[in-house]
Amino acid sequence: MKVQTVLSTSVALLSALAASVGAFDLNDVKRTTSGSIVPGRYIVEFDSNAHRSSAGLKRSGEASYGTPHEAVYAQLKERSAAYVVHQEYACDLFYGASISLESDTDLANLLAIEGVIDFRPVHLLQLPAQPLSLQDLQWTTNHPSPSPTTGFSNLPQIQADQVHASGNKGKGVQIAIIDGGVDYTRTPLGGCFGSGCKIAGGYDFVGDDYDGSNDPVPDNDPLDTCYTHGSITAGIIGANDNEYNVTGVAPEASLYQYRVFGCNGATTDDIVLQAMQRSYDEGADVINLSVGETSGWTESMLSVFASRLVSAGTIIAVSAGNQGQVGAFYSYSPAAGQGVINVGSSDNSIYPAQLATTSTGYGPITYYNYQAFASGSYPVYVYSSDPSDSNYGCVVPDDTPDLSGYLVVVRRGGCSLSDKARFAYLAGATAIFVVNTPDTVPIYQNFPLINFALVSSADGEYLLSQVQSGNNTSGNFTVNFSFNPIAVPNVWTGNTTSYFSEIGPTNDLFFAPSVVAPGSNIIGVVPSTYNNWSITEGTSWSSAFVAGAAALYLNARDNNVSPDKVKAALEYSAEQLPVSVTDTSLANVAVQGAGRIQIAEAINPGAIVSPAEILLNDTAYFAGVQYLTLNNPTKKSITYKLSNIPAGTALAYQTGLNQSNDQPVPQISNAASVKFSQTSVYLWPGATTVVLMQFTAPQGLDAKTFPIYSGFIQVSGGSTPVQVPYLGVAAKMKDMPVIDPTPYYLGMNTPTILDGSGAVQEGTGNYNFQNGSFPSVMYRLVGGTPLLLIDLVDASANLTFTPNYNSRKRSASPLAIDVELEAMKRSFVESRRIQTNNLSANWRSSKTTSLISLWCQLTNYKGKGCAAAGGKSNTFAKVPILGNLYEADYIPRSTDNADGQGGDYSTFALEQAKFANGTVIPNGTYKFLMRALHITGDRTKEADYEAWVSKPFTVSQ
């Protein structure tokens, strides 16, 4: 994944936006059911033996079906279900299909088939908008090549240059790239396609015009000249030596490109699953997936299948995601798959920039832009005799002449950069330099009609001093431009974690990310239609660095090592990163994982340790006793020493509010302590021992902030130290609030009903379901939930429990919120795992818990196997619902839109007076019942849900 530009908004502005009620406008709410789910389309998993007569799927004496697919389709036809098959999957890891159904009645029929064992709704996956336009002038091969000393390579940051120097460039390793297509005609990407070429194989699953909603047009050629993402990924992994010295991590590996995105960067996860299966079938050693979607859980279909691929011997690197701005507990899928290498981003140690000269000989001047300004000499102009004026550059004085051909110089501040660029353009200027404030990160900003760049405070002050601003003349002083790129040391954020990089852990407390790798200011290969080169950023590129590094590791081990060993080596050899260049305390493990990969040390470690990551869980299920296996891989005896290196404790939620903290998530110094059975271990060559460790969680923390504490167990004494990261939460995850009980963000009590006009329903609503007359539910989730339900109940129903949330109880006061939360929490019964319903052995052995849950909801607990699920111990099933309207599994929390990506609220629209199973809702007066299961909650216990009951409304058709 990538982001288009370096975000210039300050942390203070982001925080103000999050806290501002005015940031939300009810008029912008669409009365539709939100989310990325493709309506009516499902990835369905079949029992691999579903086609055998012994499974009981055919009458006695009849022949078996040829495949599990035939068996399932035949049963759908027997039930008169209307369905369309989009994709089929048939390998030893997954039998199934992507199927569209016309109604939820057809879904109920599908779930009743015994050969069906699991399913997930299909999701639309959308990459960010194309970062480049065809009009952009990027770094073309028509320019003179820069000096080899310009140092644009990122390989030294992960030690890949050292591995290359040893002769290892990934030869013999097959890497699958599931992404956009690739412009393999580019020389750095080999110039050809097929056997003997760098891009040795692949497939196009979609075609240029695919947008996620139309029919894909597949073919055997993954050539892509209309979207840059796949080419950049391929270049980072395996580009040949080139004019910008940005050689790929594994330039001698064989790359197989599987195109799943069309020209607009959209796809669906059933197509991605098809590409994952094909890459496995075609022998991939490593799979790179620079794609994903918000999840927060390890349970999505892509995550589950990725975990199976890992178990089958395939290494998988996946980008962590680019929404780090919205805080912790917001991981992506399929990066969350167990065993997958989940890769976040570290900021580049270099800042690509351009050089200009002056007519006075001062300089050169470094200016920050993707590309060089058009060649030539530009006279300099300033607007005012007082450039210290805070509005300088935000207005154009009336006496300003035509500035055609001029370079305008202004200071930063007073208005937006875009305003300064716009006013200079309106005055006719050809280019503009904005003088940056001291010690401030420069940003890249492109405007289509004027050359724009930031320059340092020192260089800017020199330019301003040279201009006779009193009479608005420029004299003979000029700035001269030519193509002259340079790699500037990144003294502002280099070698720290990237602001946009996703922050974990998952809601079920697995590491996310696992490691980090460079992801900002990356010079990448793009199709020739985009002028060959660009600078971009995102965890997409971080993942590609790790995929290439995995290939180097495999080459060093003769391709004979399991994925868990590769992941472990990358983790325990990683370099830990600080919070910032001025704060040398270590960034929380939820932010950096094990740290930035160091592939040379991974290949030749000072020690081998297991496990490579330590999961301490929460306070309810604290796993404080841990064992560390330590092996001496060298040919000499070594005395190893063990120590605890604490990292910061991150406060995921705001004090006094059940709202998450944005990035940078506050860190405090409270740290866990560790007692070792032995702190010094003497090992002969090849010897192994086990060390017992007793962890104690940090004290003095407010559990309502859901503190994420972390650190590293360091093992020193070998040629290089190794570190094992650990992470825990000093709170009960079950206490994490789910439904937002405050008007803190939206400025109104929610959940709430929106009426046919989109306004908040007052009193009893009346809906005839014609001409837009239908109710919608708007809500926010401040925590993830494994199960969200919206059911219909009679307006006068006795619910057998008191809803946790009701509009009349709302208050914006933090004190009132705390009181309400405490009352809510007292009603909960602790349970770590979702319990399997008490069903028959046959049913339990073939169906997943989530499938059984939905089946019973669709049939109001009257379907096969559901009678037992509604037994005496199932307080959830005793609630007198009339029928289910909406169900979603394993969904993430809402954000405050700090990253500009939305996701700050959700909606459910009852557009037709029907239950989810297709049954018509009779005329009458009803209420919505929303229930959200707490993390670690038991689906059968009503007390484990947060619940809201709406105002009454009438259905009158």
Instruction: Give the 3-state secondary structure of residue 811.
Output: coil
Residues 6+ apart with CB under 8 A from 271: 87, 205, 206, 216, 260
Whether 950 is a known active-site residue: answer no
Measure Cα distances from 894 to 92, 151, 740 in Å: 37, 41, 9
Catalytic one of 104, 106, 179, 224: 179
Could you tell me if 69 and 95 are in contact, meaning their C-beta atoms sit under 8 angstroms apart?
yes
Chain centroid offset of residue 288 CA: 15
Cis preceding linkage at 880, omega within 30: no
Whether 179 is a known active-site residue: answer yes
Could you tell me if 769 and 923 are in contact, meaning their C-beta atoms sit under 8 angstroms apart?
no
Catalytic one of 290, 540, 573, 853: 540
- CA pair distance 721, 572, nearest whole angstrom: 9
Sign of the CA dihedral with 87 first, then 40, 936, and 663 last: positive
**564: part of which helix (H) or strand (E)?**
helix 563-572
Catalytic one of 123, 143, 229, 934: 229
- CA pair distance 858, 917, nearest whole angstrom: 6
- CA pair distance 227, 27, nearest whole angstrom: 34
> HSE (CB half, 13 Å, CA atoms) of 763?
2
- CA pair distance 819, 821, nearest whole angstrom: 5
β-bridge mates for residue 626, sequence order:
693
- CA pair distance 748, 699, nearest whole angstrom: 36
- CA pair distance 420, 410, nearest whole angstrom: 8
Block residue for tokens 């240059």: 161
Q: Measured between alpha carbons, how far apart are the two ends of the chain, in Å?
A: 47
> Can you list the positions of beta strands (E) in 298-401?
315-319, 332-333, 341-346, 350-358, 365-368, 376-381
Block residue for tokens 């994709």: 87
Could you tell me if 201 and 282 are in contact, meaning their C-beta atoms sit under 8 angstroms apart?
yes
3-state secondary structure 500-563: CCCCCCCCCCCCCCCEEEECCCEEEECCHHHCCEEEEECHHHHHHHHHHHHHHHHHHCCCCCCH
Q: What is the DSSP string of 47-70?
A: -TTTTSGGGT-S-TTPPPPSSHHH
Residues 6+ apart with CB under 8 A from 13: none
User: Looking at the annotation, which residues are catalytic?
Assistant: 179, 229, 540
